[in-house]
Structure 1
Amino acid sequence: MVTWTIRLVTLGIFAAALLDSPAFSAGGGGGGGGGGGSDPFAGAYSDQKPQPTYPKRSGPKATQKGKKPGNQSSIGDPAFAAGYRAAYDTIYERNDYAAAIEQLKSLGHDDHPNVANLIGYSYRKLGDYKQSQVWYERALTVDPNHVLTWQYYGLWQLEQGNREQALYHLSRIAALCGTGCEEYKSLAAALEKPTGTALVY
């Protein structure tokens, strides 16, 4: 039943996206802008540690005309990147989520979607679902196309028993990066599990 629902939601989203896309009307190719290489959480649902990619500074000078922005945001300050890397390792190497939250907040970029998402993830791992939700929503307010936040917030929804909301998050991911990206596969796999199954990610 869940598999059928996921497929139906995905098919509907792709049909709507295809009909509304400039590529469809103009006959050109389009880029989905999947999280691929800029995804600091790629594969986080699997048993392997995700490979970090660190944010780069964004802004008017970093924007290139004619290029479609990606689904992940970034900042390029070397000091920020080093601090972000340290916090990332604190989470994935030492599983010290409280220390990582302090490290991330000390960077002074709380409103950057990569930072806010990682803070939300850390709070979720600590079991503080209210704070986690605040940070996921903060990330999506700054960047509504932040695929990683849609994935992790979707997993949050599942942990809270909100399967319909998790399906909505899955549909957002499908619209942003398709059904082949890791974020989609991770959340889809979690949705396939019976309700009440402990999720490991």
Structure 2
Amino acid sequence: MISGMIRILVLGTFAAALLASPTFAAGGGGGGGGGGSGISTSDPYAGAYATPSTTTTQPTYPRRPGTKASKARKPNNQSSIDDPAFAAGYRVAYDTIYERNDYAVAIEQLKALGHDDHPNVANLIGYSYRKLGDYKQSQVWYERALKADPNHVLTWQYYGLWQLEQGNREQALYHLSRIAAICGTDCEEYKSLAAALEKPTGTALVY
């Protein structure tokens, strides 16, 4: 009888210890509760506290060639002339065009610079040919300027005027849209071509 009481006491002590076990209380073991994770499934953030075993690297994308930050772009996106000798010669030709209106001489001066593929140079050569009435050569040089710099807004303006003088109003409107995309509708190039488009067909253009 005494041994039976001792057996009951031992079993009771063992049962009390088992009930007090953290694993049992948390639902661990067997097929119940959280499957041994120790995280309550009622917690909406369950699993958020766990530290990932590996760090996920954010993908990187190659920068497209020729792209520039928008802040670095000039308002009219004209190409700069950094060489002092080149800049001085360009200025002489510029004055020959706009001060003296001597377009034939200006073409010689611009070609003598040795930078025919510079968009500023090619554009002014195209402009000079247009003023001399040589529309074929003018077009060649405008296209050359845009090939060197597709966003050369002054070429889009002057080439748009060329289109108007050739009766290509739809093309001139396209040029106007390109200017708007580059420098907006408040820049002088846009205003100049827009004003020319408002004039009757055949009207002599200033630029």
TM over 0.5: yes
Q: Indicate the TM-score class for this superposition, using the shorter chain for normalisation.
A: 0.5 to 0.7
Q: Partner of 2:170: helix, strand, or coil? A: helix
Task: Evaluate the alpha carbon distance shift between residue 82 and residue 171 of structure 1 in structure 2; reply closer, same or farther with a 3 A threshold.
Answer: same
Trace 1:61-100 onto structure 2 (pairs within 5 A). Answer: 68-70=72-74, 71-100=77-106
CA distance in 2, matches of 1:74, 1:110: 14
The CA deviation at 1:66 is 8.1
Higher relative contact order (Cα pairs below 8 Å, separated by 6+ residues) = 1
Distance 1:178 1:169 in 2: 13
| Residue 138 (structure 1) aligned with residue 150 (structure 2) | no
What is the 5 A alignment of 1:7-156? Answer: 68-70=72-74, 71-156=77-162
Deviations 1:59-91 (A, max 9, x none): x9xx98785333111121111111001001111
Size of the aligned set, in residue pairs, is 140
Q: Which of 149, 160, 170 is matched with 1:164 structurally?
A: 170
TM-score normalised by structure 2 residue count = 0.65
**Deviating 4+ runs (over 6 angstroms):** 63-66
Q: 1:65 to 1:174 in 2, by over 3 A?
A: closer
Normalising by structure 1, report the TM-score.
0.66
Identity %: 89
Opposite residue 68 of structure 1, the aligned amino acid is: A
> Shift in Å at residue 198 of structure 1?
1.4
Whole-angstrom distance in 2 between the partners of 1:96 and 1:118? 12
Q: Which runs of 5+ in 2 are unaligned?
A: 1-65
CA RMSD of aligned residues (A): 1.8
